[in-house]
Amino acid sequence: MIFIKNLKKSLGGKKVLDGVNLHVKKGEILVIMGRSGEGKSVLLKLIIGLLAPDSGSIYIDGIDITSLNEKELNDVRKRFGMLFQSAALFDYMTVLGNVGFSYVEHTNLRSCEIRNLVEEKLEMVDLKDVIDKKPNELSGGMKKRVGLARAIAMNPKIMLYDEPTTGLDPITGKTIDELIVRLKKKLSTTGVAVTHDLKSAFRIADRIAFLDKGKIVGIYRPDKINEAKEEIVRKFISQ
């Protein structure tokens, strides 16, 4: 589903990614881990086309997005859903407006049809009776679930998760992880997640890739990462 070849990117004169090679299998969730400042979130932005690489290729379902113009890139982006670290909800909109945003922008559905679809997506993330509330009336966990409902609104093929459990208590974080896994199965999506949360990674990952000094130094099954030969990986998971 996603194939990345020799990807390089510098920001502000600093080399962030230095030849990343990675593939994400259809139907799996690949978790990318590594120390802070190693370029994990930058890699997500490159995958969805919010940043352009300095060199290298990114194939999404067989299409090299680095060669596309903006219109073509927007068409590819419609295959994605993204859950942002802070949920990134529009404060001035209700939950209906947030989750229904894509329907308003990309369809000709009537208001009542949009409301019905939003209610369906909210039910998928175990939220009820919040459709007319504003984000400031919701808890952190509820905001994440609204963000997740918005991300799946257009039935994406690929889901990206940027620190999905950051700022949540352990019980709420586990709930979000369980939702991510459940929605992957229900919607048959492929996922890429960035997280520092080891427990979260082990709960959602089919495989874990470790990013260090601009390169992927290893890819592991969660139940085998303790056997990693790389010292940086062993230190990271022993914390």
Closest residue by Cα to residue 119 from 109, 108, 130, 110:
130
Report pLDDT for 30.
97
Report pLDDT for 226.
85
The sheet with strand 55-60 has its strands ordered as: 14-24, 2-11, 55-60, 63-64
Phi, psi of 69 (to 5 degrees): -85, 175
CB atoms within 10 A of CB 233: 21
Report pLDDT for 29.
97
Query: Does residue 229 contact residue 237 with C-beta atoms inside 8 Å?
Result: no
pLDDT at 239 over 80: no
pLDDT at 58 over 90: yes
d(CA 217, CA 35): 13
- Characterize 157-179 residue by residue with b for buried, 16 or more Cβ atoms within 10 angstroms of its Cβ, and e for exposed: bbbbbbbbbbebeeebbebbbeb
- Angle of helix 111-124 versus helix 140-151 axis, rounded to 10: 120
pLDDT at 219 over 90: yes
Report pLDDT for 215.
92
User: Which H or E run contains 176?
Assistant: helix 170-187
Question: What letter represents residue 213's amino acid?
Answer: K
pLDDT, mean of residues 203-211? 95
End-to-end Cα separation, the chain, in angstroms = 32
Report pLDDT for 134.
94
pLDDT at 202 over 80: yes
**Domains of the chain as residue ranges with CATH:** 25-50+80-237 (3.40.50.300)
> Tens of pLDDT along 70-124?
899 988 988 999 998 877 888 999 999 999 999 998 899 999 999 999 999 999 9
From residue 202, alpha-carbon distances to 48, 173, 206, 237 in Å are 24, 13, 8, 11
Across the chain, mean pLDDT equals 91
pLDDT at 133 over 80: yes
pLDDT, mean of residues 135-156? 92
